[in-house]
């Protein structure tokens, strides 16, 4: 099965010049979903994972499936002021300006083995900020994984200190 068949290109979304990678056909197909989940899990080669950290919002879909499959906790990383408990935050650069991401302070314990997940690795800013949050709380990043990587944006350079796996590369 070719997972690329379940990723739909949307030109000029959410703004002109962006080729948006729409994963909703993948989410809508149980067989493709199972296949993609297996590829991500197999890439870990049986390494123990305590927590899966998913980035808002499309990192939640497979992040949760991964956590369930790996018998690990799931931790949502969210945009500012969305999480109800005490948080830590990390900022990252956008095309124009900065944004930040937050995580609950009790989400990770010192020494937890963590899998960081998002749907797309583009410039790597999001993944880098998520890694910073994990490490602030003493988590050990086992892998950063993605459904797909836009390799021409060279995002992996920003998180090169960690093992990286992408199910699909463009
Ligand atoms: P970046 O921080 O540049 O690596 O961007 C990654 C985040 O932005 C991910 O959470 C993606 O969901 C989203 N993203 C970036 N580029 C795209 C794209 N071309 N299609 C879909 N989502 C994208």
| DSSP H stretches of helix in the chain | 24-27, 30-42, 59-69, 125-136
**Options 3.40.50.2020, 3.30.365.10, 3.30.1120.10, 3.20.20.70; CATH of 46-169:** 3.40.50.2020
Give domain limits for the chain: 46-169
pLDDT of amino acid 161: 98
Q: What are phi and psi of 99, to 5 degrees?
A: -135, 170
Residue 21 banded pLDDT, cuts 50, 70, 90: very high
Tens of pLDDT, residue by residue over 64-119, are 999 999 999 999 999 999 999 999 999 998 877 899 999 999 999 999 999 999 99
Tens of pLDDT, residue by residue over 121-165, are 999 999 999 999 999 999 999 999 999 999 999 999 999 999 999
Ligand 1 centroid to residue 120 C-alpha, Å: 5
Q: Which atom of ligand 1 is nearest to the CA of 23?
A: 21
> Probe ligand 1: pick from 98, 126, 170, max atoms within 8 Å of CB?
126
**pLDDT at residue 55 is higher than 90:** yes
pLDDT of amino acid 155: 97
Average pLDDT over residues 6-23: 96
Average pLDDT over residues 29-54: 98
Predicted TM-score of the model (pTM): 0.97
The 10 Å Cβ neighbour count of residue 64 is 15
pLDDT of amino acid 59: 98
Ligand 1 centroid to residue 158 C-alpha, Å: 14
Nearest CA-CA partner of 136 in 85, 161, 92, 102:
102
Ligand 1 centroid to residue 46 C-alpha, Å: 28
Known catalytic membership, residue 95: yes
Catalytic residue chosen out of the listed positions 33, 58, 102, 149? 58
Does 119 contact ligand 1 (Cβ within 6 A)? yes
Average pLDDT over residues 7-14: 97
């Amino acid at each position: 099965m070719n997972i690329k068949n379940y990723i739909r290109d949307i030109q000029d979304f959410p703004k002109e010049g962006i080729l948006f990678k729409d994963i909703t056909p993948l989410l809508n197909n149980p067989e493709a979903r199972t296949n993609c989940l297996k590829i991500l899990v197999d890439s870990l080669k049986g390494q123990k994972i305590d927590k899966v950290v998913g980035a808002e919002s499309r990192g939640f879909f497979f992040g949760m499936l991964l956590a369930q499959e790996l018998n690990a906790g799931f931790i949502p990383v969210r945009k500012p002021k969305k999480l109800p408990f005490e948080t830590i935050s990390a900022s990252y650069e956008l095309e124009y300006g900065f944004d930040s991401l937050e995580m609950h302070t009790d989400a990770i314990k010192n020494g937890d083995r963590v899998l960081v997940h998002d749907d797309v690795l583009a410039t790597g800013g999001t993944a880098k900020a998520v890694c910073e949050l994990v490490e602030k709380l003493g988590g050990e990043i086992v892998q950063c994984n993605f459904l797909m990587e836009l390799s021409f944006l060279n995002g992996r350079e920003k998180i090169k200190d960690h093992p990286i796996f992408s199910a699909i590369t463009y």
